[in-house]
Structure 1
Amino acid sequence: MIYHHNRFVFKKTTTAPQREEALASLRNQGASIDAVVRYVVGKDVGGEFEYGAVFVLKDLDGYWEYLTAPSHAHTDRIGLPLLESFVSYDTTDEDDPDIAQKIAALHTRRYTADPALRRLVAALPSYTGSSAPR
């Protein structure tokens, strides 16, 4: 299993309706993407981030399905411009010693195929983690 984590802070200029739309879109990802085994979207507790989301994926094929789903693209388009800081990372129980490189390759493939997404990500004031462009 792969647990894909997102932690983020909205810009101070983000309105309450924009925030709720972005959070609802994240929840829709969890509900609408078949590869998502479980998910949670909510307040981030115990750190410098406001909100977080975790999507549990069975394997790398499921990770790719998650990354390329239309509902995920929608969240990127409406949510990324609202963020001040964003970090993503993955936790896995996979024994594959190359799992980190394989996950990074999926993200690289996605960014290569979607220049508009790459521009959105490049505009983020702060973005680190496993899905940050290399």
Structure 2
Amino acid sequence: MTEEKKMIYHGNRIKIKEGVPPEQLETALESLRNQGRVIPSVTSFVVGPDFGGEFDWGAVFVIEDLDGYWEYLTHPAHSNTDRVGLPLVEKFHSFDITDDPDPEMGARIAELHRRRYANDAELTKLVADLPEYTGSSAPETAA
């Protein structure tokens, strides 16, 4: 019997500010889709409307391990999405789901986000300017 790989499902739920021009929104959504296409550690992804709640859009990226998660976080395609997308956001929620039984997985993921913020002052400012940001990658969670 083959052992199944343990995966990390990194998700984002996004509410867009009122009055954002459709072409700006589409640029940000296409940048999210591009992350899934070009970041090598992403094994699958979905970007689309978020139904049944207070968010407009969502994205989930499937990653095999923490090294891949770091690659995902620091890849230029991800940085591009931050810079074109975060200024359009009213409310942002991130989450991570994994079937890895490691009891320290949440702390390990939080540490990756801490390192990322520590190394990127521009990103830290973009995130600080968000009206609402909660979840696994929010700075107060990652701090």
TM-score (norm 1): 0.99
Is 1:19–2:46 an aligned residue pair?
A: no
Superposition pairs for residues 43-82 of structure 1, below 5 Å? 43-82=49-88
Q: Give the RMSD, CA atoms, in angstroms.
A: 0.5
Give the distance between the partners of 1:69 and 1:14, measured in 2 at CA.
26
- Structure 2 CA distance for aligned equivalents of residues 129 and 118 of structure 1: 15
Q: Residue 101 of structure 1 aligns to which amino acid in structure 2?
A: A
Runs of 4+ off more than 4 Å: none
- Please name the residue that 1:118 is paired with: 124
Counting aligned pairs with the same residue, the percent is: 60
Give the AA of the match of 1:73: S
Match of residue 84 from structure 1: 90
Secondary structure class of the residue paired with 2:92: strand
Q: How far has the Cα of 1:46 moved from its partner?
A: 1.1
User: How much does 1:13 deviate?
Assistant: 2.2
TM-score (norm 2): 0.93
Q: How far is the alpha carbon of 1:67 from its aligned partner?
A: 0.1
Cα displacement (A) at 1:45: 1.1
Give the distance between the partners of 2:20 and 2:110, measured in 1 at CA: 30
Q: CA–CA distance in 1 between the matches of 2:9 and 2:53?
A: 19
Cα deviation code 1:44-79 (max 9, x no counterpart): 011110000000000000000000000000000010
Residue-by-residue CA offset, 1:91-117 (whole Å, 9 max, x unaligned): 000110000000000000000000110
1:41 aligns with 2:50: no
Consecutive unaligned residues of structure 2, counting only runs of 5 or more, are 1-6
How far apart, in 2, do the equivalents of 1:89 and 1:131 lie? 7
Larger radius of gyration: 2
2:9 corresponds in structure 1 to 3
Q: 1:107 maps to what in 2?
A: 113
